[in-house]
Amino acid sequence: MISMTGFAHKEVEGNVSLSVEIRGYNSRYLEVSVNTPSWLTGIEPNIRDCVSSACNRGKVEVSVRIFEHNIPIKVTVNGDAAKTYKTAIAGLAKELDISEKPSLALLLSLDGVLEVEKNRDNNRYWNIIEPVMREAMESFTASRITEGKYTEQDIMKSLGRIEASLEIVVSHAATMEDTIKNNIKTRFAEILGNSVDENRVLMETAALLVKNTISEEIARLHAHLSEFKAEAARNAQSGKKLDFISQEINREINTIGSKSCILEVSHAVVEMKDALENIREQLRNVE
């Protein structure tokens, strides 16, 4: 089994300092959230493809931080904007009777006077980010596999509780049938006294046994439990299928509970329901 929860962090230092952080959470479908600097939005599809190639379900958050120490830039001075600012400031100074002239530092600090263009190529940056992203995804997958192993162990432990309780049910199935027979005989005796028609008793008993016997539910429950273990063993990404099988297991357990007429079986049904609830809760973490 592979868990949907996981974490990975990778970073490199050099002319370009880069860090990639990946976090995984539970989700019914695959949801990928990418957080990058605004000038790197062009590579977001590449990051999403990298995540979707390794994940089928879950909410995955990817954060990329990058800093380039010697990035080539182009600086342009907007002379018209500077002249406009200077004229406006000189007019204000004359109106206020102030002799001070605007300094060059002031003019350069005003919006639009200096225009800085950074030469950034998305393909170049993706070539830098991709190997770190791949390494982070490998670490992220490894953490999900490790978490999935612990989850699987807990699920199988709960499955063992269901199997043990089912054996209790099986051992009392014949007692349930005897209880039904005895209840019918007692009812007839209470109503008719000694003039009980044995054939009528047998007919009523047969009808109730057909309606209340749990042999079919036991057989189907055994089959569902076997299929659950087989699916978990052959498919690492079996969360959806196992959840469906759990629904079928729940249906059979409920039916057995509704037909139970002895305390031991009722207790076993409660134990199976508790174990199954734990399984279904854990399956929410499984891809």
- For the segment 209-221, what is each residue's pLDDT rounded down to a tens digit? 556 678 889 999 9
Distance (Å, whole) CA 27 – CA 16? 34
To the nearest 10°, the Cα dihedral for 219, 222, 228, 229? -150
Q: What percent of the chain has pLDDT over 70?
A: 85
Note the CATH number of domain 6-70+121-143. 3.30.230
Distance (Å, whole) CA 139 – CA 119? 32
* pLDDT value, residue 260: 81
Sign of CA dihedral 87, 91, 96, 97: positive
Q: How far are the Cα atoms of 13, 102, 108, 150, 232 from residue 113, in angstroms, in the given order?
A: 34, 14, 6, 61, 65
Domain regions of the chain by residue span? 6-70+121-143, 73-118, 149-283
pTM exceeding the 0.75 threshold for the entire prediction: no
- Residue 280's pLDDT band, with cuts at 50, 70 and 90, is very high
Q: Is the pLDDT of residue 271 over 70?
A: yes
* pLDDT value, residue 184: 66
* pLDDT value, residue 259: 84
Tens of pLDDT, residues 174-228: 787 677 666 666 665 565 566 656 666 666 666 665 566 788 899 999 999 999 9
Q: How far are the Cα atoms of 17, 42, 104, 196, 205 from residue 189, in angstroms, in the given order?
A: 90, 85, 114, 7, 14
* pLDDT value, residue 33: 95
Distance (Å, whole) CA 59 – CA 274? 28
| Strands 30-35 vs 73-77: parallel, antiparallel or unpaired | unpaired
DSSP conformation letters of 183-199: HHHHHHHHHHTT---HH
* pLDDT value, residue 209: 58
No. of H helices and E strands in the chain? 9, 6
User: How would you class 130 by CB atoms within 10 Å of its CB: exposed for 0-12, middle for 13-18, buried for 19 or more?
Assistant: middle
* pLDDT value, residue 187: 65
Of 37-41, 91-95, 170-174, 195-199, where does mean pLDDT reach its minimum? 195-199
172 vs 160, which has greater pLDDT? 160
- Residue 28's pLDDT band, with cuts at 50, 70 and 90, is confident
Q: Please enumerate in sequence order all residues whose Cβ is within 8 A of that of 135, keeping only pairs 6 or more positions apart, or say none.
A: 10
- Residue 270's pLDDT band, with cuts at 50, 70 and 90, is very high
Cβ contact 276:250 at 8 Å = yes
Q: Is the pLDDT of residue 48 over 80?
A: yes
Strands (E), 188-229: none
User: Reduced to 3 states, what is the DSSP secondary structure of residue 70?
Assistant: coil
Tell me the backbone φ, ψ of residue 24, rounded to 5 degrees.
Answer: -125, 140
The pLDDT of 13-34, averaged and rounded, is: 92
Q: Is the pLDDT of residue 267 over 80?
A: yes
* pLDDT value, residue 8: 97
Q: Is the pLDDT of residue 132 over 60?
A: yes
- Residue 74's pLDDT band, with cuts at 50, 70 and 90, is confident
